[in-house]
Structure 1
Amino acid sequence: MSVSPEDIEAIGKQLGRTPRGIRSIAHRCTCGLPDVVETEPRLPDGTPFPTTYYVTCPRLASAIGTLEAEGLMKEMTDRLASDEDLAKSYRAAHDAYLAHRESIEHVEEIAGISAGGMPTRVKCLHVLAGHSLATSPGTNPLGDETLEALDDWGRRGPCV
Structure 2
Amino acid sequence: MIEPASERDLEIMAAQLGRTMRGVLGIGARCACGAPTVVVTSPRLPDGTPFPTFYYLTHPAATAAASRLEADGTMAALQERLAEPEVGAAYAAAHEAYLADRAAHGEVEEIAGISAGGMPTRVKCLHAVLAHALAAGPGVNPIGDLVLELGGWSPERCDCDPASRGEHPIPR
* TM-score of the aligned structures, taking structure 1 as reference length: 0.95
The percentage of aligned residue pairs carrying the same residue is: 52
Which deviations, in whole Å up to 9, do the C-alpha atoms of 1:81-134 show, x marking residues without a partner?
2x1111000000001001111111000000001110000010001110100110
Map 1:1-160 to 2 at 5 A. 1-81=3-83, 83-149=84-150, 150-152=152-154, 154-158=157-161, 160=163
Residue type at the aligned position of 1:88: A
8 Å Cα contact 1:90-1:119 kept in structure 2 = yes
How many pairs align? 159
Change (3 A) 1:156 1:109: closer
Q: Any unmatched runs of 5+ in structure 2?
A: 164-172
Aligned to 2:168: none
Distance 1:156 1:71 in 2: 24
Distance 1:157 1:102 in 2: 32
8 Å Cα contact 2:61-2:159 kept in structure 1 = no
Runs of 4 or more, structure 1, over 6 Å off, are: none
8 Å Cα contact 1:53-1:127 kept in structure 2 = yes
Q: Any unmatched runs of 5+ in structure 1?
A: none
Offset of residue 157 of structure 1: 4.5
Change (3 A) 1:156 1:132: closer
Higher helix share: 1
Distance 1:18 1:157 in 2: 19
* TM-score of the aligned structures, taking structure 2 as reference length: 0.88
Distance 2:140 2:154 in 1: 20
